[in-house]
């Protein structure tokens, strides 16, 4: 399935609410991605994201509609040569290889745009689909920490996947 990565726009509010307001997405995300996902949440996200330069958070555009998001987040201090990868995709598009391809595009962009040597992602231990997408994109498992993530009253394993320049 075809998609493009593009900067977020103010016109993406309705798509963000439509696709982001999904428990099956929110349950595998950090708490900064709320559930329910409201119009106000979309406005706050876009106000925070649109001005970023260089762009580091992209909309995954499918058929002219924002259908997910992916970003690379450079770190600071002693982690200054690292960036964290985060992403989500609207449920109707799961299992079509989109995230794996989007990860590859953002990794190439991240290494070209930022002064980093390593990009890492931290999927929950229960998020098998995300782990497989990372592995298909060339990431390898560096570490597993038992019961370190606390979400919705439950502890989850934290996995650290990474790719190097």
Structural domain contains residue 24: yes
Structural domain contains residue 144: no
Q: What share of the chain is helix, strand, coil (3-state, %, to 5)?
A: 35, 35, 30
pTM: predicted TM-score of the whole model, two decimal places: 0.96
* Residue bearing tokens 């290494």: 111
Determine the pLDDT at residue 135: 98
Structural domain contains residue 16: yes
Report the number of distinct structural domains present in the chain.
1
Determine the pLDDT at residue 43: 98
Structural domain contains residue 151: no
pLDDT tens-digit profile of 40-54? 999 999 999 999 999
Residues of the chain with pLDDT under 50: none
User: Which CATH number do you get for residue 97?
Assistant: 3.40.630.30
Determine the pLDDT at residue 75: 98
| Cβ count within 10 A of residue 120 | 19
| 116 in Cβ contact with 82 (< 8 Å) | yes
| 118 in Cβ contact with 164 (< 8 Å) | yes
Structural domain contains residue 148: no
Structural domain contains residue 141: no
Structural domain contains residue 73: yes
Determine the pLDDT at residue 1: 81
| 107 in Cβ contact with 119 (< 8 Å) | yes
pLDDT tens-digit profile of 84-97? 999 999 999 999 99
**Separation CA 99–CA 89 (nearest Å):** 7
**Separation CA 2–CA 22 (nearest Å):** 23
Provide the domain limits for residue 57.
4-119
Determine the pLDDT at residue 141: 98
């Amino acid at each position: 399935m075809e998609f493009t990565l593009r900067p977020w726009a103010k016109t993406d509010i309705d798509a963000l609410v439509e696709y982001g307001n999904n428990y099956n997405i929110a349950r595998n995300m950090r708490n900064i991605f709320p559930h329910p996902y409201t119009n106000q949440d979309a406005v706050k996200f876009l106000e925070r994201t649109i001005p970023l330069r260089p762009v580091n958070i992209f909309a995954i555009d499918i058929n002219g509609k924002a259908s997910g998001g992916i970003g690379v987040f450079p770190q600071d201090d002693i982690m200054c040569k690292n960036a964290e990868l985060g992403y989500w995709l609207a449920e109707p598009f799961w299992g079509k290889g989109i995230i794996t391809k989007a990860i590859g595009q953002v990794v190439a962009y991240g290494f070209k745009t930022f002064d980093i040597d390593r990009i890492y992602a931290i999927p929950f231990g229960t998020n098998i689909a995300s782990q497989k997408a990372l592995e298909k994109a060339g990431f390898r498992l560096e570490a597993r920490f038992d019961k370190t993530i606390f979400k919705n009253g439950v502890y989850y394993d934290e996995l650290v996947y990474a790719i190097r320049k």
